[in-house]
Amino acid sequence: MSIALTDTLHFGLQARLDSRDDIRATVRRAEDAGLESLWVGEHIVFTGPIHDPLLRLAQAAAYSERLSFGTAVYLLPLRPPAAVAKQVITLDHLTGGRLVFGAGVGGEFPKEFEVCGVPHGERGARLGEGIEVLRALWSGESVSHAGRFWSFTDVRLDPPPLQPGGPPIWLGGRQPAALRRIGRKADGWMSYVVTPEQYAAGLEVIGEAADRAGRRLDRFATAHLLFVRIDDSRERALADATAMLSHRYGMDFSRPAARYPALGPPAAIAERILAFRSAGVRHFILDFIATPEEEAAQIARFAEAVRPLLG
């Protein structure tokens, strides 16, 4: 397998960023807790209110000179990639080159595809070709592309991204086809609702696909979005996580809540993180399962009681 891993762990925060005041306060909490990055999710149609991710991150970038920023994940198949390329170039400049473009296929909410006029079954192919278009347009050169969905001749986007070649592209996905795509095309894997054992197995698939494509993943990012609920009682943490995640996603989340998050006392949270570290994760995107009123306390408790246990 051609994936090279460093020893350093990195921690970021997945956040709602619902308003200007919320964005300012969240940036401050993340910095005070020693976190390194701020992430937002993305949907056109969801079970509750959700704002555009690139606009939220642009606002957040105005409040921090230290944090990096990322989408976890942006549903690239729903948009023309040329328009996305321009928006991401702009955000790369606004963040001072501290941007990671996390992308995925989506699919859990078919109405998103209906309202955007995109066939649900084309999402994987559109993501793959969309990445090719992004990389071409982020090169700073005059480029052409002839593909299944998009074609153009001699187009140059100006200005080019602040990061040479554009922000790193981290892809989500769990299925074998998605993992193979990551191995062929991505700068990193950002997993979600997998166990440490599934993560390790996924890295094997990614590495094999990279080998077949002739890629060396010497600077490949291994990331995981981890649900976290800190409580002295694991049983209480599980009950709260089940209720909140079921509400968030509009489904019964009892079985996933018992299997995937890090729940309970600080030592249990640290144990779960170290299990993912052993599986290959180096970038943790922490999604605290909490009400808005609880989130600050959860973040602070992670910094004070969990982080010191991680070495």
Which residue shows structure tokens 């060396």?
216
Residue 59 lies in a domain: yes
> CB count, 10 Å around CB of 20?
12
| pLDDT exceeds cutoff 70 at 298 | yes
Which pLDDT tens digit goes with each residue over 161-204?
999 999 999 999 999 999 999 999 999 999 999 999 999 999 99
Q: What is the mean pLDDT of residues 44-72?
A: 97
Pairing of strands 143-146, 151-155: antiparallel
Which pLDDT tens digit goes with each residue over 225-268?
999 999 999 999 999 999 999 999 999 999 999 999 999 999 99
Can you give the pLDDT at residue 311? 83
Residue 63 lies in a domain: yes
Which pLDDT tens digit goes with each residue over 123-168?
999 999 999 999 999 999 999 999 999 999 999 999 999 999 999 9
In angstroms, the CA 175 to CA 180 distance is 9
Residue 264 lies in a domain: no
> How many separate domains does the chain show?
1
- Token code pair at residue 193: 């609702």
Which CATH number do you get for residue 132? 3.20.20.30
Can you give the pLDDT at residue 243? 98
Residue 192 has φ and ψ, to the nearest 5°, of: -160, 135
Can you give the pLDDT at residue 87? 98
**Which range of residues forms the domain containing residue 122?**
10-223
Cβ neighbours for 157, distance < 8 A, ≥ 6 positions apart: 85, 86, 89, 137, 138, 140
Residue 168 lies in a domain: yes
- Token code pair at residue 87: 């928006």
- Token code pair at residue 33: 């807790």
**CA–CA distances in Å: residue 249 to residues 43, 48, 204, 292:** 12, 8, 30, 17
Q: What's the one-letter identity of residue 247?
A: H
**CA–CA distances in Å: residue 48 to residues 58, 139, 250:** 22, 37, 9
- Token code pair at residue 224: 């995981």
Residue 256 lies in a domain: no
pTM: 0.97
Residue 294 lies in a domain: no
In angstroms, the CA 23 to CA 3 distance is 35
Residue 247 lies in a domain: no
Can you give the pLDDT at residue 26? 98
Burial letters for 156-165: b for 16+ Cβ neighbours within 10 Å, e otherwise? ebeebbbbee
Alpha helices in the chain (DSSP H): 20-32, 53-61, 81-94, 110-116, 123-137, 176-185, 196-212, 234-249, 254-259, 266-279, 292-301
Residue 270 lies in a domain: no
Can you give the pLDDT at residue 1? 56
Cβ neighbours for 44, distance < 8 A, ≥ 6 positions apart: 75, 78, 112, 115, 116
